[in-house]
Amino acid sequence: MYRFAVQLSDVDRGVYETFDLPVARQPSETAEYMLTRVLAYCLEYTEGIALTEGVASGDEPAVLVRDLTGRITAWIEVGAPDADRLHRGSKLAGRAAVYTHRDPAMVLNQLAGKKIHGGDEIRIYTFGRGFIERVAEILPRRAALSLTITERQLYLDVDDQSFSTTVEERRVA
């Protein structure tokens, strides 16, 4: 179990929040996947957002957003989801996105030519080369995380260490 005290300043979206984020890391989940899941949660932060069980979540994405009625409004995958999952998630939620710590070209090639509902609206978000690996290497089980996002630049402080990267956006189709 990981516990993060998060201070989020997303200037791009006008979101400024402080919250505690407990994260269960599954035995088969890499530190890089878990960190990408945490960053996706923070970058998508809104009312009704929730982390699922990650790689053990089965039919759910890594992160999802529900409205007050319980309807899923955003389907957020992490890693390299298959086209069928994205198709189903986009159709169900109306909005889908992918945050990946993998090579974006590999993810896009895996999805190329596949039938995906709303594929031209699905965004793939990646981080600068080596960013996820560097942060995952030092990430303690309990940490204060301070994230600032401005003009797609992400500044991350983990306790007393600072990191930065560009959040790159690509389209599925």
The model's pLDDT over 28-80, given as tens digits with 9 standing for 90+, comes to 889 999 999 999 999 999 999 999 876 556 788 999 999 999 999 999 999 99
DSSP E strands in the chain: the ranges are 2-10, 15-23, 49-51, 63-66, 72-78, 96-100, 123-127, 142-150, 153-158, 161-171
Instruction: Give the pTM.
Output: 0.93
15: Cα separation from own chain's centroid? 16
Q: Which residues pair with 143 in a beta bridge?
A: 4
The model's pLDDT over 112-131, given as tens digits with 9 standing for 90+, comes to 888 899 888 999 999 999 99
Nearest of 169, 40, 38, 36 to residue 104 by alpha carbon: 169
User: What pLDDT was estimated at residue 12?
Assistant: 94
Question: What CATH superfamily classification does 2-171 receive?
Answer: Restriction endonuclease-like alpha-beta roll domain (3.10.640.10)
Q: Which sequence spans correspond to the domains of the chain?
A: 2-171
